[in-house]
Amino acid sequence: MTAQESVVTPERLSQGISWKQWMEQIDRNEEKFQFNYDDHKLDATDLEAIKSAVQKAGGVTCLAIGEAWCPDVVRGLPVAAKLAEAAGMDLKIFFRDQNIDIMNEFLYKGEFQSIPTLVFYDKDQRQLGVWHERAQKARDEMPMLSEIRQKMQNQELSEDERARYMKEYEDFQQGPVWAGWRDAEVKEIRDILESAAK
C-alpha cells in the first residue's frame, strides 16, 4: 500500500510519539514497561543484521500501535523501542483507541485489532512489513500463560490464593520464557527487514 492510499500520510506519521513521550503519557504499568526495556539484551548478530537492513532501506521508521493495559504491549513495545534506538530506526507510537483508523488498516488476519502492531517503512514511506502482537514462539507457548491467567480468574479464590497466583504471574513476566518471547520478536523483525532489503 502506498502512502497516498494509506491513512498514514507523512504528516500523520510525524504525529506519533516517542518512547520517552509514551512513558510520560501512560497511566499504568510504568514499572513493567521499564523492566522490559531495561532487562532486554539485544543479540549482537541480530542487531548488526537489522542495522544493515535499515541502511539498505536508506533509513526505517517503525510505526507502533499499542495501549498500556495490554500485556503483549508491555512486553513487545519496550523491545521495539530499544531495538529502534540501537539500530537507528525512527519510532512513532500511536495509542490504538485514539487512532482506530490506523489500527483498522493493519488488522491481524484482516479482522483483529491486535496490539502491539509494528509497521515498518523505508525513507520514502513504502511499507516494508508488519508485525502483530507476539512472536510465533509466544503463540506456541501461550498455554503456559493461559493456565496462570485461568487460575487468577477463579471467582472463588481466597485472598491468599489470589495473591499467590498474582505473584506467579509476575514471576512469569520476569522469567526466561517471557525473555525468550522478547528475543523471538527481534528475530521476526529481523526477518521482515532483511526480506524487504533483498
Residues 63/8, Cβ–Cβ less than 8 Å: yes
Q: Is residue 170 part of a domain?
A: no
Residue 154 — φ and ψ, nearest 5°?
-65, 115
Structure confidence at residue 3 (pLDDT):
44
Q: Is residue 94 part of a domain?
A: yes
Q: Residue 192 sits in a domain of what CATH number?
A: 3.40.30.10
Structure confidence at residue 7 (pLDDT):
97
Structure confidence at residue 197 (pLDDT):
87
Rg, the chain, Cα only: 17
- d(CA 82, CA 80) in angstroms, rounded, equals 6
Q: Is residue 150 part of a domain?
A: no
Write the pLDDT tens digit of every residue in 66-81. 999 999 999 999 999 9
Q: How many CB atoms lie within 10 A of CB 70?
A: 17
Q: Is residue 167 part of a domain?
A: no
Q: Is residue 18 part of a domain?
A: yes
* Mean pLDDT, rounded, for 17-30: 98
- Structural domain including 120 reads 10-134+181-197
Q: Is residue 143 part of a domain?
A: no
Residue with cell 526466561: 176
- d(CA 197, CA 191) in angstroms, rounded, equals 10
In total, how many domains does the chain have?
1
- d(CA 95, CA 21) in angstroms, rounded, equals 12
Q: Is residue 128 part of a domain?
A: yes
Q: Is residue 172 part of a domain?
A: no
- CA-based nearest residue to 123, from 58, 190, 195: 58
